[in-house]
Amino acid sequence: MIELEGLTKRYGDKLAVDGLTFTVRPGTVTGFLGPNGAGKSTTMRMILGLDHPTSGDVRIDGRHYDRLRDPLTAIGALLDAKAVHGGRSARNHLLCLAQSNGIPDGRVEEVLDTVGLTSVARKKAKGFSLGMSQRLGIAGALLGDPRILMFDEPVNGLDPEGIHWIRSLMQSLAAQGRTVFVSSHLMSEMALTAEHLVVIGQGRLLADTSMADFIEQNSRSYVRVRSPQREQLLDVLHGAGITVVEAGGGLLEIDGGKAEHIGELAARHHVVLHELSPRQSSLEEAFMRLTAESVEYHAHADPAEREWAAGWKTEV
Ligand SMILES: Nc1ncnc2c1ncn2[C@@H]1O[C@H](COP(=O)(O)OP(=O)(O)OP(=O)(O)O)[C@@H](O)[C@H]1O
């Protein structure tokens, strides 16, 4: 279990992590989500005692990281796959880690096998692809057979096979009763991997919820309509007691409506439609809406799109 209590980190006048309180529980994969710069890596570094909190507290199975007797047997982490001595072979890298942490040498072959690196164990780590480096980093995290595992953006830069492998590995570790805490900035990826979600934005907690609840609360089905006779269409829809929202770019959206019903209604009143499409909002959209206010740097300068992301749709 990882417990955060008012965890805060300030760099100069930048509040990177702002009073985070939540618990990561065993037996499930907990996704740690937030846009770039939200404070995920800083939080993970504080969990591992690599950064000191400005205030607040974080405990691993009830203890601070620096009070753990054999840290690698309590918590294993992959923070930066490239943070490996490149001149060493994969096997030697793991042997050094094992020996300096009182872990039997025999464990090295086991973890090499688990991550599928046995055949390249003699190769120098500097020649490894990103995917192989990720696997080596994960082998290091698994070395002490810890009850808690933490991975920072483990699927970044991986091919679909690598992503599938990491996803299954995390789920099997959780099924063994371990605590698995994994960060990502992709909601779609987390939806396939995690059972629980912690979402942060600008260092602050935005959601701490089960994935099932998040999906239920955020799966919105709606019909998108576009017509050159917008005003007539609005009259028809309002006349039928249907609520319509403006979605920008001349598009209208009708929550929970049936496309057939709207199409027939428009036809009966001779209103031309240029678009009539049933839609389901994606979890990525729900995540963007949740975090829109807290994104540091907006990729889209278009204010209409920003409003859309923030969920500021107006009824018309
Ligand atoms: N050593 C540091 N000195 C100053 N500012 C820092 C430092 N480390 C992080 N920050 C700032 O703190 C904020 C949080 O950064 P952090 O790397 O924790 O976010 P993140 O959610 O992991 O983002 P990303 O997904 O981009 O890695 C950012 O604004 C970052 O610029």
Structural domains present in the chain: 2-211 (3.40.50.300), 217-315 (3.30.70.980)
Share of the chain above pLDDT 70, in %: 93
At residue 128, the pLDDT reads 87
**Across residues 88-104, what is the average pLDDT?**
92
Tokens 């859309």 sit on residue: 308
**Is this complex's ipTM strictly greater than 0.90?**
yes
Whole-number mean pLDDT of the chain? 89
One-letter identity of residue 218? N
pTM of the model: 0.81
Tell me which DSSP letter residue 313 carries.
Answer: -
At residue 300, the pLDDT reads 47
Distance (Å) from CA 41 to ligand 1 centroid: 7
β-bridge partners, 8: 55
Q: Is 42 in the pocket of ligand 1 (CB under 6 A)?
A: yes
Going by CA atoms, what residue is nearest to atom 24 of ligand 1?
A: 36
Going by CA atoms, what residue is nearest to atom 12 of ligand 1?
A: 16
Q: Is 40 in the pocket of ligand 1 (CB under 6 A)?
A: yes
pLDDT at position 309 over 60: no
* Most ligand 1 atoms within 8 A of CB, residue of 4, 7, 10, 14 to mutate: 14
> Could you tell me the pLDDT band of residue 286, with boundaries at 50, 70 and 90?
confident
User: How does pLDDT run across 115-161, given as a tens digit for each residue?
Assistant: 999 999 988 888 888 888 889 999 999 999 999 999 999 988 788 88
Q: Which atom of ligand 1 is nearest to the CA of 44?
A: 18
Three-class secondary structure of residue 229 per DSSP: coil
At residue 303, the pLDDT reads 47
Residue among 50, 47, 34, 120 at smallest CA distance from 83: 50
At residue 295, the pLDDT reads 64
At residue 228, the pLDDT reads 96
For the record, the structure tokens of 111 come out as: 């973890």
87 or 136, which is more confident?
Answer: 136
Q: Is 195 exposed, middle or buried (0-12, 13-18, 19+ CB in 10 A)?
A: middle
Distance (Å) from CA 22 to ligand 1 centroid: 20
Q: What is the DSSP string of 29-60?
A: EEEEE--TTSSHHHHHHHHTTSS--SEEEEEE
Residue among 57, 1, 32 at smallest CA distance from 206: 32
For the record, the structure tokens of 104 come out as: 């039997």
User: How does pLDDT run across 105-123, given as a tens digit for each residue?
Assistant: 999 999 999 999 999 998 8
CA distance 123 to 152: 25
Q: Is 144 in the pocket of ligand 1 (CB under 6 A)?
A: no
For the record, the structure tokens of 144 come out as: 């002490």
User: How does pLDDT run across 184-240, given as a tens digit for each residue?
Assistant: 988 888 989 999 999 999 999 999 999 988 888 877 788 999 999 999 999 999 999
Q: What is the chain's Cα-based Rg?
A: 24
Q: Which atom of ligand 1 is nearest to the CA of 38?
A: 21
